[in-house]
Amino acid sequence: MRYSVGHIFVVLIVVLVAYFAEHTSTGSKNNPQTQYNIKVFFTPGTDCEKNIIAEINKASTVDVAVYSISNQNIVNSMIAAHKRGAKIRVITDRTQAKVKGSLVDTIKSAGIPVVTNKKHKIEHNKFAIFDNKYIVSGSYNWTTNATKYNSENCNFFEYSGKEYSNRFEYLWNLYNLNK
């Protein structure tokens, strides 16, 4: 049997449509959003702030690597969590820690361990690990400007790997040298 280019093209389209329907449907086991329970939020708006606070409030351990911290609501939740016994550690940028409005000294004064970058030009990460099983990452800085004025994003997802934890430990140890 002889097939024309048109027949082959139609078959190819049907196969591709079937493939993408299977691999992008909402309930598909291959859909990362379904499999990993990803929540995505954008600013301006308080969704990133509120969800970060909610995770801090229920976590026993919180490892934070963030460029800038000036959001009083987030800092208040970190201090409250620390007072209730949660283990919190913060890595932030040395230049941002000294700018007007930074709350890094407030965090340190509350007894929360903080280190700043000594090896890299800037510490530009923006992630937090909650109880070694849940992550927030994205462009969102933990600042009032990020919440109220900037176009930023934050992504929350379940976490079973070690990439974020390994990176946090590497930076924590690197920046703690010759403290």
- pLDDT (tens digit, 9 = 90+) per residue, 40-60? 999 999 999 999 999 999 999
- pLDDT (tens digit, 9 = 90+) per residue, 72-94? 999 999 999 999 999 999 999 99
Q: pLDDT value at position 161?
A: 83
Please determine, looking at this structure, whether the domain spanning 37-176 carries the CATH number 3.20.20.70: no
| Domain assignments of the chain as residue spans, ordered by start | 1-31, 37-176
Task: Write the single-letter amino acid at 33.
Answer: Q
Helices (H), the chain: 5-24, 32-36, 47-58, 72-83, 104-109, 144-148, 163-176
Q: Residues 6 or more apart from 46 whose CB is under 8 A from it? A: 147
pLDDT confidence tier of residue 11, bands split at 50, 70 and 90:
very low
pLDDT confidence tier of residue 165, bands split at 50, 70 and 90:
very high
Task: Write the single-letter amino acid at 130.
Answer: F
